[in-house]
């Protein structure tokens, strides 16, 4: 999970151990031009807050980072990243050696001849387009 440096929870979520690094990063991002931060090809930078969230779909604990490419005034300022399927998230995950789990993949077999109308983690991408 990634928050904008300006997100209202960024400082609150920072662990005591990570707080100094988080504060430095937030201040540096505050002084960096928004266009420069988010420009295509710009370096994807971030800091681990030391906090975790629970993925509501899988129940797994995921680290909460702050990153320069997430903006507080765009959407909620928080992104549940999908590095296997998003270029910016992928570049960020590679840089910081974060897991890159696939979330959309083709099933090996079909369990039922009927199609579900609810997306499932094992539905093919082309099936999701028809839902």
Residues 12, 76, single domain; the answer is yes
25: helix, coil or strand?
A: helix
What tens digit of pLDDT does each residue of 86-109 get? 888 899 999 999 988 888 777 766
Residues 12, 63, single domain; the answer is yes
Domain extent for 126: 104-131
Can you tell me the mean pLDDT for 40-54? 93
What tens digit of pLDDT does each residue of 49-91 get? 999 999 888 899 999 999 999 999 888 999 888 888 888 889 9
Q: Which residues contact 96 (CB under 8 A, 6 or more apart)?
A: 46, 48, 65
Please compute, for residue 68, the number of CA atoms within 13 A of its CA located in the half-sphere on the CB side.
24
Residues 52, 113, single domain; the answer is no
In angstroms, the Cα distances linking 12 to 53, 71, 108 are 14, 17, 44
Residues 83, 51, single domain; the answer is yes
Q: Are strands 46-54 and 78-79 parallel, antiparallel or unpaired?
A: unpaired
And the tokens for 3?
């928050």
The domain that holds 53 is classified in CATH as 3.90.740.10
Residues 15, 79, single domain; the answer is yes
Number of domains making up the chain = 2
């Amino acid at each position: 999970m990634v928050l904008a440096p300006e997100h209202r929870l960024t400082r609150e979520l920072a662990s005591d151990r990570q707080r100094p690094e988080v504060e430095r990063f937030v201040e540096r991002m505050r002084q960096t031009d928004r266009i420069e931060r988010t420009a295509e090809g710009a370096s994807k930078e971030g800091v681990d807050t030391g906090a975790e969230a629970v993925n509501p779909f899988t129940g797994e604990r995921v680290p909460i980072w702050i990153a320069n490419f997430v903006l507080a005034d765009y959407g909620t300022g928080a992104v549940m990243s999908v590095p296997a399927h998003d270029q910016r998230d992928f570049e960020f995950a590679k840089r910081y050696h974060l897991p890159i789990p696939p979330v959309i993949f083709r099933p090996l077999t079909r369990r039922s001849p009927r199609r579900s109308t609810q997306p499932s983690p094992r539905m093919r991408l082309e099936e999701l387009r028809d839902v």
